[in-house]
Amino acid sequence: MKISEITNYLESLAPKSMQESYDNAGLIVGNPNQEVKNVLVCLDCTEEIIAEAHQKGCELVIAHHPIVFKGLKSITGANYVERVVLEAIKKDIAIYASHTNLDNYNLGVNFQIGQKMGLENLKILAPKRSVLYKLSVFVPLENLDQLSSALFQAGAGSIGNYKDCHFYTKGTGTFRPVEGANPFSGELNELSKVDEVKAEYLVRKHDLGKVLFAMKMNHPYEEVAHDIIALENENQQEGSGMVGDLPEAMNTMDFLAMLKSTFGCGVIRHTRPIKDQVKKIAFCGGAGSFLLPHAKRERADVFVTGDYKYHEFFDAENHLVIADIGHYESEQFTSNLIADILKKKFTTFAVHITGINTNPINYF
């Protein structure tokens, strides 16, 4: 098994195009053609993680957080980032990161957090815009099913929890083949009229290339008439944070106690409880304070995240309870998520979850 086979599969679920502009997900150190027999999964790639990977014979470390966010102008071991890169290169260990693309994946980091809290009716808190296209293709009616099947298989036609969606209208297409053409029907220099349909499909940005390839390979015409239109629609399957419901309303302090136990928090920093019972919970793994307006819009009772600053707590304004459980604490189960994804897909290499707690924060 090559590294590229593993990373290609991970990116088929959480493509790098889904990451935020500041991020650096992907293969950071290593040769994509390197063979792999053992993989170590972690939240943060540190010097201790590289040592653990070496001790366990792992050729690849898959981390949630990228060890390199910005370009390195030198690699001299002057700081922990440079030392990790140096050690990985010396020990021939590749480093891969799946970060905000895995956060924005609808079955990714936040989905798992929601499951840990036992929430129901989970949905994206802040769905992405400008990541969808409408593809319109003109095709003879008798070829529609074959073409649609190929486009669906390539990723077109998904709307929320529905697949294989398209809409078509019947009409008449006209064309006149000229010198050099090899028409599917009709004669050179003669105007032809054909009963056609205009078929429309929703396509995600990261699927557009392979959908267009499938269209050209499965369309009967040598010149395919089609339109690609960028949409401002929200993509309900991609975005930041999530919101869901507790099966039954809970006492506010009991809910906070459950959070502390479930995520092993040293402490939970929270705003004043404003009601006795809570049921709708908004949340975001890592640093999610930017999602507070979305949590308010959803009328959430609690907003759970990490890395809240002092003055940001005032922004609750008695609309909800802000609960800061810690960055590491909120995302600690991401290693299990990645390991489960790999184990379900591959059986040709061993997947190890780190035994090292990489949380840089301690509580006294």
Cα(270)–Cα(292) distance, integer angstroms: 14
Tell me the pLDDT tens digit for each residue of 260-287. 999 999 999 999 999 999 999 999 999 9
In the sheet where 167-175 sits, what is the strand order? 167-175, 192-204, 132-140, 226-231
The model's pTM is 0.91
Query: Distance between terminal CA atoms of the chain?
Result: 45
Instruction: Return the pLDDT at 181.
Output: 83
Distance, CA of 266 to CA of 250 (rounded, Å): 22
| Rounded (10°) CA dihedral 31, 36, 42, 44 | -20
Instruction: Give the residue from 337, 314, 322 showing the smallest Cα distance to 282.
Output: 322
In this prediction, residue 160 carries a pLDDT of 83
Q: What b/e readout covers 86-121, taking b as 16+ CB neighbours within 10 angstroms?
A: bbbeeeebbbbbbbbbbbbbbebbbbbbbebbebee
What sections of 188-333 are H helices per DSSP? 208-218, 252-262, 292-297, 327-331
For 50-89, what is each residue's pLDDT tens digit?
999 999 999 999 999 999 998 899 999 999 999 999 999 9
pLDDT at 116 (0 to 100): 98
Residue 206 to residue 222: CA distance in whole angstroms: 25
Residue 177 tokens read as 């083949």
Pick the closest to residue 102 from 204, 19, 203 (CA basis).
19
Burial bucket for residue 233 (CB in 10 Å: 0-12, 13-18, 19+): middle
Give the model confidence (pLDDT) of 112-122 as tens digits.
Answer: 999 999 999 99
Q: Phi then psi for 299, rounded to 5 degrees? A: 60, 40
**Per-residue confidence band for 179, with pLDDT thresholds at 50, 70 and 90:** confident
Q: What is the pLDDT confidence band of residue 161, given thresholds at 50, 70 and 90?
A: confident
Nearest Cα residue to 91 out of 42, 56, 44, 133: 56
